[in-house]
């Protein structure tokens, strides 16, 4: 079944006159892997967030739609912490542990901090 992310990627390809193989080549994956991501059988690699935005020069609206599609489809999020210092690693782990217990007000406060940072 085509996921929200799959629909977004398919529309993006069509808008750019591409077929599945073209996008797979750009992302340096097989056609079957890209198809599995679209159909929700495989998780989208985290580095695609940046790659797709850059490869397809997404507008702010497209980036927002892409973020929403990823969020609707995601079952887990991978964070690369290899370059983060110890304080930031501890922050990431603490956030992951407490994520499910955040109330709406706390989640909104964190969202505002992140979105404010993204706009600068």
* Residue 98 belongs to some domain of the structure: yes
Cα(34)–Cα(67) distance, integer angstroms: 18
At 21, list the tokens: 């193989």
pLDDT in tens, 78-111: 788 989 999 999 999 999 889 889 999 999 999 8
Residues of the chain with pLDDT under 50: none
Q: Are residues 105 and 58 in the same domain?
A: no
> Tell me, what's the pLDDT at 118?
61
Q: Kindly compute the dihedral angle of the four CA atoms of residues 37, 41, 46, 51, in this order, to the nearest 10 degrees.
A: -10
Alpha helical stretches, state H, 1-120: 4-15, 20-27, 31-38, 48-55, 60-73, 86-98, 104-119
pLDDT of residue 119: 60
Domain identity same for 11 and 41:
yes
CATH for 22: 1.10.260.40
Q: How many structural domains comprise the chain?
A: 2
Task: Quote the pLDDT of residue 47.
Answer: 87
Q: Is residue 103 part of a domain?
A: yes
CA distance 50 to 71: 15
Say if residue 61 is in the same domain as residue 93: no
Same domain, 36 and 68: yes
* Domain hosting residue 35, numbered range: 4-73
Q: How many CB atoms lie within 10 A of CB 4?
A: 17
Residue 64 inside a domain? The answer is: yes
Q: How far is CA 120 from CA 50, 113, 116, in A?
A: 17, 11, 7
């Amino acid at each position: 079944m085509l996921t929200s992310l799959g629909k977004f990627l398919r529309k993006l390809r069509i808008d750019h006159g591409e077929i599945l193989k073209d996008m797979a080549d750009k992302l340096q994956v097989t056609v079957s892997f890209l198809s599995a991501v679209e159909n929700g059988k495989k998780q989208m690699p985290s580095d695609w967030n940046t790659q797709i935005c850059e490869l397809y020069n997404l507008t702010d609206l497209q980036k927002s739609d892409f973020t929403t599609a990823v969020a609707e489809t995601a079952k887990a999020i991978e964070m690369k912490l290899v370059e983060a210092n110890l304080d930031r690693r501890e922050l990431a782990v603490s956030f992951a542990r407490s994520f499910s217990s955040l109330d709406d007000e706390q989640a909104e406060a964190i969202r505002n901090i992140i979105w404010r940072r993204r706009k600068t």
